Amino acid sequence: MEWIPENIKRTILAWCALCVFSGSVFGQADSVKLKISHLTGDFYVYTTWNKYRGIAVPANSMYVVTEAGVVMIDIPWDPAQRTPLLDSIQARHQKKVVLCLSTHFHDDRTGGLNWFREQGIATWSSKETLDSCRARGEQQAEFYFEKDTLFQIGQHRFKTIYPGGGHTKDNIVVWFEQEKVLYGGCFVKSTESEGLGNIADAVLDEWGISIRRVMKVCRKPKYVIPGHGGWASNKGLKHTLRLLREQ
C-alpha cells in the first residue's frame, strides 16, 4: 500500500520554541523541555521528558522532512511540547506536519493523537495498536493498517514492520531502507540501557525471536533509534538481545 497525503490546511502559531540541550539526559525535565537533534539528511530525532516512577525520563521520537510535508514517528511524551514542536518544525523547515504514526499503544506513543488529529494531521497506527487503545479507553489513530505497509510521502519511502511481540504485543518498527534508518521505538533498547525498562506489557518469550526477524529484514542499518536513551551506537538490536538473555 502506498499513501500520499493531500495538502492539509491548518493555522500555525507564529511563536518559535526551538530549545537547546546540555548535560545528562536524565533528571532535567524541569530545565529542558524539548530537544531536536539532526540525525542525517532529512531525518531528525526529537526528545521530550516525562516522569516514570518519579524520575524524569527522556522519550525519543522522530520526524522526516519531505517535499509533501513532515512525517512524525510517535508523539511528544510531554503534552506541553506539542505546540512548541510543531512551531519549531514550521520555523526550521517552513513545512507542516501531514502525518503522525504511532508505534505501539503506550501513552508515550499515542497520548495526544486526538490533539494532532484536531490540527488536521493524519494519524496512523496498526490495527492491533488501535484495538489495544480502544480496549483501554485510550486515544486512537484515525487510520490504521493491518499488515506491513509501504508508505510513500514526497520523496521518502518507508515500511512499517510488525516483527512479533516484544516491548508490547503490538509494537512495530519503521524502516527507511534507502537511508538505512531504523526507528525501533521502545522495541529496541539503547546501548546505554542496563535493563529492559517497563516490561509490564512485554512479551518476553517472543521478544528475542522478534528482534532476530528485524535483523534479517533490516540489513546493516546505519542508525537505530530507540524509544529511550541515546542512539550514538547502531548496535541497539544486539544490545536488546543481550539484555533479554540476562533477564
Positions annotated as catalytic residues are 104, 106, 108, 167, 198
Counting DSSP H helices and E strands in the chain, the numbers are 6, 12
Q: What is the DSSP string of 179-245?
A: TTEEEEETTS--TT-SS----TT--HHHHHHHHHHHHHHS-S-SEEEESSS--SSS-HHHHHHHHHH
Which grid coordinates are listed for 231?
542512539
Give phi and psi for 74, each to the nearest 5.
75, 170
Q: How far apart are CA 131 and CA 139, in angstroms?
A: 11
Q: How far apart are CA 172 and CA 104, in angstroms?
A: 7
Other beta carbons within 10 Å of 201: 15
Q: How far apart are CA 171 and CA 202, in angstroms?
A: 10
Closest CA to 38 of 59, 65, 56: 65
